[in-house]
Amino acid sequence: MTTIEIQGNKRTETGKRGSRIDRNSGLIPAVLYGGKDVVHFSVKPSDVKHLIYTPDFKLAELNVDGNKSRAILKSIQFHPITDEVIHIDFLRLIDKTPVKVEVPLRFKGVSPGVKVGGKLIQQVRKIKIKTTPEYIVDELKADISKLDLGQSLRVRDIITPNGIEIINNPATPVALIEIPRALKAAAAAEAKAEKGAKKKK
């Protein structure tokens, strides 16, 4: 599990005015909630870029004026025009307290359908899970080693580690082995030839 260390400074002034002051200083207003205390602080954009701009799931190790907390990124607000990050919400991780997070779905194994020319289409890239901090994972893996041409894998086919509950609909397809047009055309031509041969008999 990758953890990003983030230095934060406690905000002396909150609300819109405080947020405006932070942004004018090149900082991002942030809040940490979960547990007893809600902490308002600010961070440098460079400190959070590897947490935000990545397809991977990572934890945050927040250090706000010497007080450390393990947390996850809960939500981000972007400026509607510039796409700059204007606010971040973090959720504190508390032992044995369930949290819901989205983690990447990756595949393992080699599909027989791909071996004969099929194309693997990933239909779901992230899976929502419910777990506790001690069981949290940075990804889930689905086995595609039995997928043949035209077959699909669904959420219910994903094997989960202990302590992990998938929230997505079990029937949702996550991967499909697409049959290329060339293979479809070849199969159709072969079927037509076989039909013609039977008629001649």
Q: What share of the chain is helix, strand, coil (3-state, %, to 5)?
A: 25, 40, 35
Q: Phi-psi bin for 126: left (phi > 0), alpha (psi -120 to 50), beta?
A: beta
Pairing of strands 85-92, 67-78: antiparallel
pLDDT (tens digit per residue) in 79-129: 899 999 999 999 999 999 999 999 999 999 999 999 988 899 999 999 999
Residue 199: per-residue pLDDT = 59
Residue 180: per-residue pLDDT = 83
Residue 191: per-residue pLDDT = 58
Structure tokens at 140: 């889930």
Amino acid at the residue 114: V
Structure tokens at 25: 């200083």
191 vs 174, which has greater pLDDT?
A: 174
Other C-beta atoms lying within 10 Å of the C-beta of residue 180 = 12
pLDDT (tens digit per residue) in 17-67: 777 777 878 899 999 999 888 999 999 999 999 999 999 999 999 999 999
Residue 1: per-residue pLDDT = 85
Pairing of strands 28-33, 85-92: parallel
Q: What is the DSSP string of 28-71?
A: EEEEEESSS--EEEEE-HHHHHHHHS-SS--EEEEEETTEEEEE
Q: What pTM was computed for the model?
A: 0.82
Residue 194 has pLDDT above 70, yes or no: no
